[in-house]
Amino acid sequence: MKLIRLATSETVPLEDGFLWPDEFSWKAIEQTQNYAIDGSLVIQEGKKKSGRPITLQPADKEMGWIKLRELLTVLEWSKLQNEVFQLQFEQPHDNRQFTVKFNHQDGALEADPVKGIPAVSLDDYYNVTLRFTELNDGD
């Protein structure tokens, strides 16, 4: 898996040990149901054009790692306003690509050192949770 900053084509590799726990819980259709004065059911619905959450979290403590050097890049990217990224899955069964922004509303990035102590090298690993919002063309 990798994250690409579209404005510059810079790429950060991401380990494949992430789960996408909210992949199937997003509701693409928004619906309200009310009753008219005469008792008739009135259903209004519309299809969402974008906004699907993509949360990537470690499957367990032994997965979902990122080196501090890449984490610092992702942290800086998360602080940029109006930046758009491409998230690419790179597995034999899954090569989907998503255009995303960091989801600051829900906490864009969380990271803890794998060893449980402060990093002593840029090659030290962190467990990371990343939160994105999927965009469609024109967003």
Q: Give the SS3 label for residue 77.
A: helix
The pTM for the full model equals 0.88
Question: Where do we find the tokens 């519309």?
Answer: 46
**Predicted local distance difference test score (pLDDT) of residue 62:** 84
Per-residue pLDDT tens digits for 50-90: 999 999 999 888 888 999 999 999 999 999 999 999 999 99
Distance, CA of 44 to CA of 53 (rounded, Å) = 23
Per-residue pLDDT tens digits for 27-50: 999 999 999 999 999 999 999 999
Q: Is residue 90 part of a domain?
A: yes
101 strand-pairing partners: 133
**Residue 133, class by beta-carbon neighbours within 10 Å (0-12 exposed, 13-18 middle, 19+ buried)?**
buried
CA dihedral over 122, 129, 54, 45, signed as positive or negative? negative
**Residue 8, class by beta-carbon neighbours within 10 Å (0-12 exposed, 13-18 middle, 19+ buried)?**
exposed
Q: Is residue 112 part of a domain?
A: yes
Tokens of 50: 């974008």
Q: What domain range includes position 58?
A: 2-134
List Cα–Cα distances, 86 to 9, 41, 72, 117, in angstroms: 9, 42, 18, 32
Q: Is residue 139 part of a domain?
A: no
Per the structure, the count of domains in the chain is: 1
Q: Is residue 61 part of a domain?
A: yes
Q: Is residue 119 part of a domain?
A: yes
pLDDT band at 136 (very low <50, low <70, confident <90, very high): confident
